[in-house]
Amino acid sequence: MAIQTDQQLLEIAQAAANAGALALKKHWGKLEQVRCKGRPGDLVTEADLAAEAAVLEVLQQHTPEIGVLAEEAGRQGPGGALQWCVDPLDGTTNYAHGFPLFACSVGLLKNGQPHLGAIEAPALQQSYWGGIGLGA
Protein backbone atom coordinates (compact mmCIF):
# COMPACT_ATOMS: atom_id res chain seq x y z
CA MET A 1 0.00 0.00 0.00
CA ALA A 2 1.28 3.46 -0.87
CA ILE A 3 2.12 5.85 1.93
CA GLN A 4 -0.59 8.49 2.22
CA THR A 5 0.01 12.20 2.66
CA ASP A 6 -1.45 13.98 5.68
CA GLN A 7 -4.12 15.46 3.38
CA GLN A 8 -5.08 11.97 2.18
CA LEU A 9 -5.18 10.70 5.76
CA LEU A 10 -7.45 13.61 6.71
CA GLU A 11 -9.76 12.75 3.82
CA ILE A 12 -9.85 9.13 5.04
CA ALA A 13 -10.71 10.36 8.56
CA GLN A 14 -13.51 12.49 7.10
CA ALA A 15 -14.86 9.56 5.07
CA ALA A 16 -14.74 7.28 8.12
CA ALA A 17 -16.49 9.81 10.37
CA ASN A 18 -19.12 10.33 7.67
CA ALA A 19 -19.71 6.57 7.39
CA GLY A 20 -20.18 6.39 11.16
CA ALA A 21 -22.54 9.37 11.09
CA LEU A 22 -24.67 7.71 8.41
CA ALA A 23 -25.04 4.67 10.66
CA LEU A 24 -26.03 6.94 13.55
CA LYS A 25 -28.67 8.64 11.41
CA LYS A 26 -30.08 5.24 10.45
CA HIS A 27 -30.59 4.31 14.14
CA TRP A 28 -31.65 7.78 15.37
CA GLY A 29 -34.93 7.49 17.24
CA LYS A 30 -35.11 3.72 16.62
CA LEU A 31 -33.00 2.22 19.41
CA GLU A 32 -34.07 -1.20 20.57
CA GLN A 33 -31.54 -1.68 23.36
CA VAL A 34 -29.52 0.60 25.62
CA ARG A 35 -27.26 -1.14 28.08
CA CYS A 36 -24.64 -0.22 30.63
CA LYS A 37 -21.19 -1.45 29.68
CA GLY A 38 -19.48 -0.97 33.01
CA ARG A 39 -19.75 1.89 35.41
CA PRO A 40 -23.15 3.58 35.85
CA GLY A 41 -23.93 5.99 33.03
CA ASP A 42 -21.46 4.37 30.61
CA LEU A 43 -23.92 3.31 27.92
CA VAL A 44 -23.66 1.39 24.68
CA THR A 45 -26.34 0.94 22.03
CA GLU A 46 -26.66 -0.85 18.71
CA ALA A 47 -25.98 2.54 17.13
CA ASP A 48 -22.53 2.68 18.79
CA LEU A 49 -21.72 -0.76 17.38
CA ALA A 50 -23.06 -0.04 13.89
CA ALA A 51 -21.22 3.29 13.67
CA GLU A 52 -17.98 1.72 14.85
CA ALA A 53 -18.28 -1.09 12.30
CA ALA A 54 -18.83 1.47 9.53
CA VAL A 55 -15.82 3.54 10.62
CA LEU A 56 -13.56 0.49 10.96
CA GLU A 57 -14.57 -0.71 7.50
CA VAL A 58 -13.43 2.57 5.90
CA LEU A 59 -10.19 2.66 7.89
CA GLN A 60 -9.38 -0.98 7.09
CA GLN A 61 -10.14 -0.47 3.41
CA HIS A 62 -7.88 2.58 3.06
CA THR A 63 -5.22 2.14 5.75
CA PRO A 64 -4.82 -1.51 6.77
CA GLU A 65 -1.24 -0.73 7.77
CA ILE A 66 -2.40 1.63 10.55
CA GLY A 67 -3.63 0.19 13.86
CA VAL A 68 -6.86 1.33 15.50
CA LEU A 69 -7.95 1.97 19.07
CA ALA A 70 -11.75 1.87 19.00
CA GLU A 71 -14.02 2.54 21.96
CA GLU A 72 -16.06 -0.63 21.66
CA ALA A 73 -13.71 -3.08 19.89
CA GLY A 74 -10.48 -2.03 21.57
CA ARG A 75 -7.04 -2.15 19.96
CA GLN A 76 -6.79 -3.76 16.52
CA GLY A 77 -4.22 -4.12 13.79
CA PRO A 78 -0.54 -3.34 13.70
CA GLY A 79 1.34 -1.05 16.03
CA GLY A 80 3.49 1.76 14.75
CA ALA A 81 3.98 5.49 14.71
CA LEU A 82 0.40 6.06 13.48
CA GLN A 83 -2.78 4.96 15.24
CA TRP A 84 -6.41 5.75 14.54
CA CYS A 85 -8.60 6.53 17.58
CA VAL A 86 -12.35 6.07 17.16
CA ASP A 87 -15.29 7.18 19.27
CA PRO A 88 -18.18 6.02 17.10
CA LEU A 89 -20.86 7.74 19.16
CA ASP A 90 -19.49 10.55 21.26
CA GLY A 91 -22.50 11.46 23.37
CA THR A 92 -24.25 8.11 23.73
CA THR A 93 -26.34 9.33 26.67
CA ASN A 94 -27.61 12.29 24.65
CA TYR A 95 -28.29 10.02 21.67
CA ALA A 96 -30.18 7.48 23.78
CA HIS A 97 -32.37 10.22 25.25
CA GLY A 98 -33.12 11.86 21.91
CA PHE A 99 -30.91 14.94 22.40
CA PRO A 100 -29.19 15.92 19.13
CA LEU A 101 -25.79 16.71 20.68
CA PHE A 102 -23.71 13.71 19.61
CA ALA A 103 -21.08 12.96 17.00
CA CYS A 104 -18.84 10.37 15.39
CA SER A 105 -15.16 11.15 16.06
CA VAL A 106 -12.11 9.80 14.24
CA GLY A 107 -8.61 10.96 15.11
CA LEU A 108 -5.09 9.99 14.14
CA LEU A 109 -2.19 9.92 16.58
CA LYS A 110 1.36 10.27 15.31
CA ASN A 111 3.98 9.05 17.78
CA GLY A 112 1.32 9.20 20.51
CA GLN A 113 0.36 12.82 19.82
CA PRO A 114 -2.84 14.13 18.18
CA HIS A 115 -2.12 14.74 14.49
CA LEU A 116 -5.44 15.12 12.65
CA GLY A 117 -9.09 14.31 13.02
CA ALA A 118 -12.65 14.60 11.80
CA ILE A 119 -15.97 14.85 13.60
CA GLU A 120 -19.43 14.47 12.09
CA ALA A 121 -22.44 15.71 14.09
CA PRO A 122 -25.28 14.37 11.93
CA ALA A 123 -28.26 15.74 13.87
CA LEU A 124 -26.74 19.21 13.67
CA GLN A 125 -25.64 18.71 10.05
CA GLN A 126 -22.15 19.90 11.01
CA SER A 127 -18.67 18.63 10.18
CA TYR A 128 -15.42 19.54 11.86
CA TRP A 129 -11.89 18.60 10.86
CA GLY A 130 -8.35 19.69 11.39
CA GLY A 131 -4.76 18.63 11.34
CA ILE A 132 -1.27 19.84 11.99
CA GLY A 133 -0.32 21.91 8.97
CA LEU A 134 -3.74 21.33 7.39
CA GLY A 135 -5.83 24.02 9.02
CA ALA A 136 -9.25 23.48 10.54
pLDDT tens track for 30-42: 755 655 565 655 5
As beta bridge partners, residue 85 has: 69, 107
**Is residue 21 a part of any domain in this protein?**
yes
How large is the average pLDDT for residues 114-134? 97
- What does pTM read for this prediction? 0.88
Secondary structure of 82-132 in HEC code, one letter for each residue? EEEEEEEEECHHHHHCCCCCCEEEEEEEECCEEEEEEEEEHHHCEEEEEEC
Residue 35's domain is classified under what CATH number?
A: 3.30.540.10
**Is residue 30 a part of any domain in this protein?**
yes
Enclosing domain of residue 45:
11-131
Specify the number of domains making up the chain: 1
**Is residue 96 a part of any domain in this protein?**
yes
Strand pairing report for 43-45 and 82-90: unpaired
**Is residue 6 a part of any domain in this protein?**
no
**Is residue 3 a part of any domain in this protein?**
no
Q: What is the pLDDT of residue 62?
A: 96
Residue 1 scores a pLDDT above 60: no
**Is residue 4 a part of any domain in this protein?**
no
